[in-house]
Chain A
Amino acid sequence: MAAAIEKYGHQLEALARAQGLDYYPVQFEEVPDSFMMEVAVYGLPVRMPHWSFGVRYIYQLIQHRMGHSRLFEVVFPGNPGRAYLARGNSLPENTLVVAHVLGHADFSKHNELFRRSQQQGGYRIVDQAASHARQIAAAIEEHGQERVERVLDAALALEAYIDVFRGLHRERYPEYLESRTTDDDTFRQRFHQLPGDERPMPGHEPRQRAAVPPHPERDLLWFIAQYAPELEGWERDIFLAVREESCYFYPVFACQIMNEGWASYWHARLLREADFLPQHEYLDAIKTHSDVVRPHAADRQASLAINPYHLGFCMWEHIIDNHGLGQAMRIRSQDDDFSFIRNHLTEELAEELKLFRFRAARDGAVEVVDRDINALRDAILAPRYNFGAPAVSVQTLERDGTLRLVHEHASDGRGLDLARATKVLEYLHRVWRRPVTLDTVDAQGGSRRVEFPAAA
């Protein structure tokens, strides 16, 4: 089995390189189905333990048993890249999967978001996540399950709150405002030369402490790691470990449509040109391809969700047909899903794909609204900002250590679920160890403060 796919694999690689794909070598490995299932749950082959993954695991297990989900591969960017193939895959399926993975590998080597994240993270997220897992196992040995869990409850609840544009390694804010007095002003210089008006000794100038944070801070994981009043070293390490993994997940999340589309485009193209494949294997592989990029609406009149593989695949075909491969390669390097959809989901393509916007009321009634391209783009992108999490940031760090968070309800369109928000503050309070408050709005739009512990 491995030998057969290895032979095809090398032939596919030669083909891919000839077409202009460029990537770090990939370590392909066949793994048991149970391994695949866990990767789907944890997002990484070896990841820190937490009970919440256990719940997801059971759902995944049930879905798997009911035959709802089948995973062919998972791929991790890096140098070398890693790809895991499900042991249950047939040879034609694996042929397609290898071609698909090569597309991903090209994408992650060149796409700007991936590149920056890997440069900062060091091209070996799989090993790093495993070392985080070891670090947390050691913390459990030393500090006990309950205490470690308390930290992870908080850190993983805030998983989405990072600021990728400020980078993985971030300095603390400057402690003091920059001094305004400069000596380039000749009047000042001469004034200070007058008798009795000596300047204060240098270094004794009253410096002004800078506010913390100087601006609303979205990177909650970083902020807590840096500024929590009584966080212990090992607790900080856990926060930073979770943050590092989030920084890795961000490009995967923010480029899903492009990345899956790109890989699907390439597996289709490489298979088409793989004349070394026997006819029946080619047909089986193409059958798998059409299952993967099938629109959700294929066997129904309409679907209320869009298959990202299908959308991305069609968009790339459209771009390459109309603008050529060179332009496509530039786009895969520079864009993320937001610019990709805004710039390249054209009105005619949307029409061809029969995309529409719908409105769903609470009572279950669903109505088709329109096919307006701008509104459509917004509707596709809306759940993709910042891991789809509500916009919560740090507003103020009070002198007594109280942490004040604010929810930007205007940009999210409505307030937070207050009961859940209180629970998250409770997690947070256990590591922050001072009062934590959060401003949002209630159902009527009136401002509402949630706090933990509850105000006396």
Chain B
Amino acid sequence: MNHPSTFAGCAEGDQDWYELFSRGARDWLRHNEKVRQAVRDKLPEVLAGADILGGERARTVKVPVRFLEHFRFRLRDPDEMTGAGQGDVKPGDKLARPGQQPGEEGQGEGGNDEGGVQLVLELKIDDIVDWLWEELKLPNLQAKHGAMQDDDYTREGWSRRGVRSRLDRRRSMKESLKRRAVDPQGPAFVDDDLRFRQLVHRRQPATQAVVFFAMDVSSSMRDRDRQLAKTFFFWVVEGLRRQYTRLELVFVAHTIKAWEFPQEEFFQVRGSGGTVASTAFGLVRDIVAQRYDPARYNIYLFYASDGENFRDDHGPAEAALGELAAVASFVGYVETPASAEQALQTETAGIFRSVTTDCPGGSFALTTNESVWDAIRAFFREQVAAGGG
């Protein structure tokens, strides 16, 4: 016997209700998470081109990415394909092809044809730094005399009681939903739903450190060299600031003279004229003498240059750097050589080599944007023994 069919309507508010449970949105978010993961796995290459230095300091980096493809078996693209069409034509007629191949959607080799959709991932610089610096550390960091305990509060878990400012609304909402799922008639919120963030008091050994960033800004430094050096410094600064709450940073730039700069100006500075590296090392040495007692501070120096130094400056530069190295925990040198073959064959590289034979240090050549990260990785890990480099 035939039962009649049934008809059910849908109410005005159902749309909103439904969208809360959107499966499409859920799977789309998962896709984006995977893209993020993929980007994260090869962050140095992805970030290489990103403009981080220009203009005011944005806290995000925008990276264009492609949609992930779920791969299937597919025939190779044919040299020629046949198909069936419909219309007022006769054999031999030539037709204009509308946009894309019939039967195939815009899936192709083309550069940015995601059907006109471009996915731009916005990455927080803080997140990038977290990912990249996870296992990176200041080398040879030691607790120094006079260091105190650091008091630090960290978030850890949730509690049912707390002050209003720590109310976790998202978490509380979840509890409320859970309860109302069982008891739909219940009130929107009861005290039991509320969740507060807990802070836990942690004591950490304090480590005092000062990091000097010195850069050659003489006219021999080409734009690309400056860009590489500054990119290197940028990520080092971001990483160190995030990793160590109590850290002093000093920025020095030099041509035939050296100046100390605040951070913002350091990244914008341009100079002209010759190169006398001893001025920078001398200035750093003086600042240390005035402000940072080596008995209380771990001292670090990172110096960037194209490696060309004034011939007559060899003696003074070596002497000043030698004095610094004697008290420093680490001296690092990044070079932006004219070509990869000449890397670390220069005057300045020679000075660093001779000085760092008996003090922890290292040299690295920046040739490409990717090598910035290799340099960071090379410097900021546990150095095995003194005198590496």
Contact = CB atoms under 8 A, between A and B. Distances in A.
Interface of A: 1-3, 5-6, 9-10, 13, 17, 25-35, 37-38, 41-42, 46-47, 49-55, 57-62, 80, 87, 145, 153, 156-157, 159-160, 295-297, 300-307, 353-362, 364-371, 376, 379-380, 383, 389-390, 392, 407, 412-418, 420-421, 423-424, 427, 443
Contacts, number: 257
Contacts of A421: 73
Contacts of A353: 86
B308 to A, nearest CB: 46
A103 to B, nearest CB: 13
B24 interface: yes
Contacts of B6: 25-28
A358 B18 contact: no
Given A295-B86, A356-B87, A379-B83, A9 B5 contact: yes
A327 to B, nearest CB: 24
Interface of B: 2-10, 14-15, 18-19, 22-32, 34, 67-68, 70-98, 101-103, 115-117
A190 to B, nearest CB: 58
B24 A37 contact: yes
Contacts of A303: 85-87
B79 A58 contact: no
A353 B85 CA distance: 10
Q: Which of A26, A34, A355 has the most CB of B within 10 A?
A: A34
Given A51-B27, A305-B103, 11 more contacts: A42-B24, A55-B68, A55-B70, A62-B115, A301-B88, A358-B84, A366-B96, A369-B82, A414-B76, A414-B78, A424-B72
Given A62-B117, A389-B73, A427-B71, A364 B97 contact: yes
A49 B78 CA distance: 33
A296 B91 CA distance: 19
Contacts of A360: 80-83, 97, 101-102
A161 to B, nearest CB: 8
A28 B6 CA distance: 6
Contacts of B31: 51-52, 54-55
B15 A369 contact: no
Nearest to B37: A146
A157 B71 contact: yes
Given A28-B8, A54-B29, A306 B73 contact: no
Contacts of A424: 71-73
A32 B15 contact: yes
B93 A367 contact: yes
Given A368-B89, A376-B84, A58 B7 contact: no
21 contacts: A29-B10, A34-B18, A49-B26, A55-B28, A57-B24, A62-B116, A295-B86, A302-B88, A302-B93, A354-B87, A357-B85, A358-B83, A358-B85, A360-B80, A365-B94, A365-B97, A366-B94, A368-B91, A368-B95, A407-B73, A414-B76
Given A59-B115, A415-B76, A416-B73, A380 B84 contact: yes
B86 A57 contact: no
B73 to A, nearest CB: 5
Contacts of A297: 85-88
A383 B86 contact: no
A50 B91 contact: no
Nearest to A17: B2
A266 to B, nearest CB: 15
User: What 7 A-B pairs come out closest when comparing CB atoms?
Assistant: A302-B87, A2-B9, A57-B24, A54-B27, A54-B28, A52-B70, A423-B71
A369 B10 CA distance: 51
A364 B8 CA distance: 49
Contact of B85 (A3, A51, A304): A304
A364 B92 CA distance: 16
A302 B89 contact: yes
Contacts of A145: 30
Contacts of A365: 94, 97
A51 B38 CA distance: 14
Given A2-B8, A356-B86, A421-B73, A58 B28 contact: yes
Contacts of B95: 302, 304, 358, 366-368
Given A38-B23, A55-B31, A361-B80, A2 B7 contact: yes
B19 A356 contact: no
A87 B14 CA distance: 10
